[in-house]
Amino acid sequence: MPEAKTMILNMGPQHPATHGVLRVILELDGETVVKASPVIGYLHTGIEKNMEAKTYTQALTMTDRMDYLAPMSNNLVYAGAIEKLMQVEIPPRAEYVRVIMTELTRIASHLVWLGTHATDIGAMSMLLYCFREREKIIQMYEFVSGVRMMSSYFRVGGLAKDIPDGFDKRVKEILDTFPGRINEYEGLLTENKIWRNRTENVGVISAEDAVNAGLSGPNLRASGVAWDIRKSNPYSYYDKFEFDIATNDKGDVYGRYLVRLEEMRQSLRIIDQAIDGIPEGPYITEDRKIAPPPKERVLKGMEELIHHFKLVVHGFQPPEGDVYFSIESPKGEIGCYIVSDGSKKPYRVHFRPPSFVNISALNRLVKGRMVADVIACIGSIDIVLGEIDR
Amino acid sequence: MIVESILIILKVVVIFAALMTGVAYSTYFERKVVAFIQHRIGPNMTGPFGLLQPIADAIKLLFKETFIPNMSDRFLFTIAPMISFVAACMTLAVIPVGDWLNIGGQRIQLIISDLNVGILYILAVTSLGIYGIILAGWSSNSKYSLLGGLRSSAQMISYEVSIGLGIVGVLMLSQTFSISEIVRQQSGSIFNWYFFKQPVAFFIYFISALAETNRNPFDLPEAESELVAGYHTEYAGMRFSIFFMGEYANMITVSAIASSLFFGGWNGPFLPPVIWFVIKVIMFMFIFIWIRGTLPRFRYDQLMRFGWLILFPLGILNILITALILVL
């Protein structure tokens, strides 16, 4: 029998700092990590399979539940894929609102990340501060869609309903308060000696390794690769707005922290440009084969009634074929691959979840580091288990 | 003789009861202060302003099942929390809460035992508390507990040294080991406080005390995000709460020592001495909680490096400089 030199420590799935139900099997030599293997599957919900049994519109509601911290981004990638397949023209009003809402989503997701990550490292008050701000964004979700988290606000062809009165006023309130709040977080953490000790040169991944591991989003940009789908393959109206890609060349936990903070500021910048430019007009496409007409017209017109009836009972039918569409979610590249057989239900839906790809790099990050660094690294990757297991 | 014995027993009972009340209400105090730091309300349902919360907590913990994990060392598992708790309480025996009192011709000193080597006694007894933590970590038969126990033993032993070095700074000026004597030397003016004569020693003592009591940013042994709950992961019910009470008793003791050695103990104008003493202790408790609400946590190796490569040399340097000034 070989001499036992290492200890196996089972971290999770009900460990407080594994962000849900991630399980990591750590092989430890003292407190030094020899190997870390993430084990997933504890939150498997069968979302992709379930979507095959629903019409395209019904299936959209399931996307909220994947990355439940960024529901709007998931809506957007799914709706965007179908729109690409069906070549739908989206009204500008909808595009503007989509940009604003997904950028708010990015801030909300980064706030949850910052709060939980800081709590993992011991700065427990950050969680409450970040959730205080996130609450404002969640209230915006409720304001536009009626639901706080599982909003399903984007629909194929546009939005579920028009933005309510006072939308721009509330967004401007957020724009006024948030920059100061982000500075407050920076004041607590950025130059904090203990914070820097815990995060600098921890979990370093080089640009080459990051690309090879398939990292995307802030994790990749923190390694110095300025790759952002909003810039490289602009979707929606992102090419109309000015913003910078936040990068850092360190590739460590601290770099990822700085990148995300800067991204929040850039998101605010995008919203600031978009909020005054929301044009008047329809909020969803006028193509009646995709979106039902407004309710009051349904009750009066024959044509509209037929369209409404067909769409509610049968849904729309994209042409046969397959499509891949990806956007920059707060966590990285989220992609949606849809195979259509021409019926009202998707033949197959597959997502490329950024968290799933990013967590696979965990072993590279933590090898040779201490147990405490594993926590810092898991936190800095920013995973959501709902998205990993789907 | 009999009167004296009764007096001593009375003092023990009163101080112990005060300590236990202090422990119970420092949990309340901590929850309230941290809640305000974090824009929350904190406990407010049980009794007025939630003041009965500690009692509700105690009742809940008393009625919980005391679970002993399979394959653990039952005897050590049971006595470990007691060691920790008793050691934390014993320290308070040599800390004066006030000066002499005259009641009915009887002169009473407000201290359980005015040991002439009080400080040595404190250093000795606080070291005993570590045994509770090591034994708890070892006997639980859990990897998280074991790592927690290892961490805390290393941490507490290292910081014990710095605590000692911090205190030596005061001892060199006071020329006595008796705490009541040290407090008496600081009477008169606020500038007689040893904090103003030995500021470096105070900061060394205070930082080490944070580490010694396993408080943030040195709360590695119970780093909940890493080791679940460290050495007391497997504990539940009353055994757990005894550890918990031990930790808070430790905080109170450490605050009491800090106020006695550096901030003039019971000395202060207008108010009775005991009140001054309590005010100073509460002030330190507040700082403990404030730090907890603000700072992130050190990593194990950084903590050891900080202890041995910064605090320890600084302590020695402080002693050398003090000695030089005393000689010249």
Enumerate the H helices of B63-214 as residue ranges. 74-90, 118-139, 143-174, 179-185, 194-197, 199-212
Distance CA A189, CA A197 (A): 11
Distance CA B159, CA B305 (A): 11
**A7/B143 CB distance under 8 A:** yes
Cα separation values, A370 from A138, B147, B299, Å: 36, 12, 9
**A31/B37 CB distance under 8 A:** no
Domain map (residue ranges) of chain B: 2-327
Neighbours of A89 (CB within 10 A): 12
Say if residue A356's pLDDT is above 50. Answer: yes
Nearest to B37 among A16, A125, A198 (CB): A125
pLDDT in tens, A3-55: 667 888 888 777 766 677 888 888 888 778 888 888 888 888 888 888 899 88
Cβ(B252)–Cβ(B285) below 8 Å? yes
Cβ(B80)–Cβ(B135) below 8 Å? yes
Say if residue A199's pLDDT is above 60. Answer: yes
**A370/B299 CB distance under 8 A:** yes
Q: At what angle do helices A253-275 and A167-189 cross, to 10 degrees?
A: 160
Q: What is the ipTM of this complex?
A: 0.76
Nearest CA of chain B to the CA of A197: how many Å? 8
**A123/B302 CB distance under 8 A:** no
Cβ(B136)–Cβ(B145) below 8 Å? yes
Instruction: Name the residue with tokens 């006072």.
Output: A166
Q: How many contacts, defined by CB atoms under 8 Å, are there between A and B?
A: 80
Which pLDDT does position A225 carry in this prediction? Answer: 87
Strand-pair category, A154-155 with A158-159: antiparallel
Chain A residues in contact with B293 by the CB 8 A cut-off are 124-125
Residue of B147, B214, B295 to mutate, testing the A interface (most A Cβ within 10 Å of its Cβ): B295
**A31/B292 CB distance under 8 A:** no
Question: Residues of A127-166 as b/e, b for ≥16 C-beta within 10 angstroms?
Answer: bbbbbebbebbbebbeebbeeeebbbbbbbbbbbebbeee
Residue of A197, A252, A366 to mutate, testing the B interface (most B Cβ within 10 Å of its Cβ): A197
Q: Which two tokens stand for residue B245?
A: 């009470």
Say if residue B130's pLDDT is above 50. Answer: yes
pTM recorded for the entire structure: 0.84
Which pLDDT does position A337 carry in this prediction? Answer: 92
Share of chain B above pLDDT 90, in %: 0
Widest distance between CA atoms in chain A: 83
Chain B residues in contact with A377 by the CB 8 A cut-off are none
**B297/A194 CB distance under 8 A:** yes
Mean pLDDT of A153-171: 87
pLDDT in tens, B71-128: 778 888 888 888 888 888 888 888 887 777 777 667 777 777 777 888 888 888 888 8
Share of chain A above pLDDT 90, in %: 6
pLDDT in tens, A215-258: 888 888 888 888 888 888 888 888 888 888 888 888 888 888 99
Mean pLDDT of A130-136: 89
Distance CA A242, CA A11 (A): 43
Q: Which of A256-260, B11-15, B233-237 has the lowest mean pLDDT?
A: B233-237
Mean pLDDT of A136-163: 88
Chain A residues in contact with B223 by the CB 8 A cut-off are 122, 372
Question: Residues of B286-319 as b/e, b for ≥16 C-beta within 10 angstroms?
Answer: eebbeebbbbbbbbbebbbebbeeebbebbeebb
Say if residue B325's pLDDT is above 70. Answer: yes
**A375/B226 CB distance under 8 A:** yes
Which helix (H) or strand (E) segment is A83 a member of? helix A71-86
Q: Which two tokens stand for residue B70?
A: 């399979």
Distance CA A380, CA A377 (A): 5
Say if residue A330's pLDDT is above 60. Answer: yes
Chain B residues in contact with A200 by the CB 8 A cut-off are none
Nearest to A125 among B38, B144, B298 (CB): B38
Which pLDDT does position B229 carry in this prediction? Answer: 62
Say if residue B264's pLDDT is above 60. Answer: yes
Which helix (H) or strand (E) segment is A7 a member of? strand A7-11
Cis check: omega of the bond before A13, within 30 degrees of 0: yes
Say if residue A270's pLDDT is above 50. Answer: yes
Distance CA B256, CA B15 (A): 13
Distance CA B155, CA B150 (A): 8
Mean pLDDT of A300-306: 87
Which pLDDT does position A380 carry in this prediction? Answer: 87
- Residues in B lying within 8 Å of A, measured between beta carbons: 34, 37-40, 143-144, 147, 216-217, 219-220, 223-228, 292-302
Q: Exposed, middle or buried: residue A87 (CB in 10 Å: 0-12, 13-18, 19+)?
A: exposed
Find, among B215, B174, B210, B166, the residue nearest to B192 by Cα: B174
Say if residue A341's pLDDT is above 60. Answer: yes
Distance CA B289, CA B278 (A): 16
Q: Which two tokens stand for residue B246?
A: 């031990």
Which pLDDT does position A1 carry in this prediction? Answer: 47
Distance CA B299, CA B302 (A): 5
Beta bridge partners of A155: A158
CATH superfamily of A90-286+355-389: Cytochrome-c3 Hydrogenase, chain B (1.10.645.10)
Distance CA B176, CA A41 (A): 65
Beta-strand runs (E) in chain B:
100-103, 106-109
Which pLDDT does position B147 carry in this prediction? Answer: 77
pLDDT in tens, B196-227: 888 888 888 888 888 888 777 777 666 655 66
Say if residue A208's pLDDT is above 70. Answer: yes
Chain A residues in contact with B225 by the CB 8 A cut-off are 16-17, 119-122, 375
